[in-house]
Amino acid sequence: MEAPLKTYALLGTNVSVVDSFLAAERLSLLVRDRQKAYVCVAPVSTIVEARRDAEYQKVLNEAAMVTPDGAPVAWIGRLNGHRQVRRTYGPDLMLKMCDEGRASGLRHFFYGGTPEVCDRLERSLKERFPGILVVGKIAPPFAAKAERLTEQARHAIHAARPDILWVALGSPKQDFWMALNRDALDVPVMVGVGAAFDFLAGAKPQAPRWMGRMGLEWLFRLCCEPRRLWKRYLIGNALFVWFLFRDGVRGRRDART
């Protein structure tokens, strides 16, 4: 068993010291060791939500890996002295595993999205990565909160024998879902990837690379879906800055006492 990843604390959430290469390597090790682990991706919105919800923060901190999905999350890691940290974006991590996993026969299962999105995702990945093994997909009915798997879904996943279960239910629901269903599923690793299914299937536009590097993907997504995302980004980003400032002030005050 490999040593635990290094982490840095960001508003109480332990973010893994990774880049996309190290994260993919760790996923491969989790598959090899078959520990029934789950992995979360952490943009700014996830860090803020966890700062406000102790139960959610507990779910994140019990994950095998929490990747710095948002550029500001990675920037803070580097400011804390972790020079290796780079943005480890959910869709990019998924593509990397789909590509590199072909050599070892990695078996992929998709859980989330709609039936149309799952079908488009499978077609897109098979065209892009000939030989990829997609062994199943389930588009569950909408639920406001994380729910336990139905027996039918559980049996379908077990029968497919996936190595990685990709979960796209949106945060924080997908993270709660993985924690809730981890013990019931004989799957080496589950990875919550948010909107990755929609992006990789071409169902939603993806921000240009330069916007992701500059920490501006939130602005692109806000412009695409203002009614759905305005609260997450406008209020959430303001809270992120406020929490950083407040915790920093408290830390300096405690250091003086």
d(CA 203, CA 68): 24
Claim to verify: residue 60 and residue 147 sit in the same structural domain: yes
In a domain, 235, yes or no: yes
Residue 250 has what pLDDT? 59
Claim to verify: residue 166 and residue 75 sit in the same structural domain: yes
Domain that holds residue 228: 217-256
Claim to verify: residue 224 and residue 97 sit in the same structural domain: no
d(CA 120, CA 122): 5
Claim to verify: residue 240 and residue 252 sit in the same structural domain: yes
Claim to verify: residue 232 and residue 205 sit in the same structural domain: no
Claim to verify: residue 160 and residue 198 sit in the same structural domain: yes
Per the confidence metrics, is the pTM higher than 0.85?
A: yes
Other residues' Cβ atoms within 10 Å of the Cβ of residue 192: 31
Claim to verify: residue 209 and residue 232 sit in the same structural domain: no
Claim to verify: residue 133 and residue 238 sit in the same structural domain: no
Structural domains in the chain (count)? 2
pLDDT < 70 positions in the chain = 1-2, 248-257
Claim to verify: residue 247 and residue 129 sit in the same structural domain: no
Claim to verify: residue 147 and residue 224 sit in the same structural domain: no
In a domain, 229, yes or no: yes
Claim to verify: residue 54 and residue 93 sit in the same structural domain: yes
Claim to verify: residue 251 and residue 190 sit in the same structural domain: no
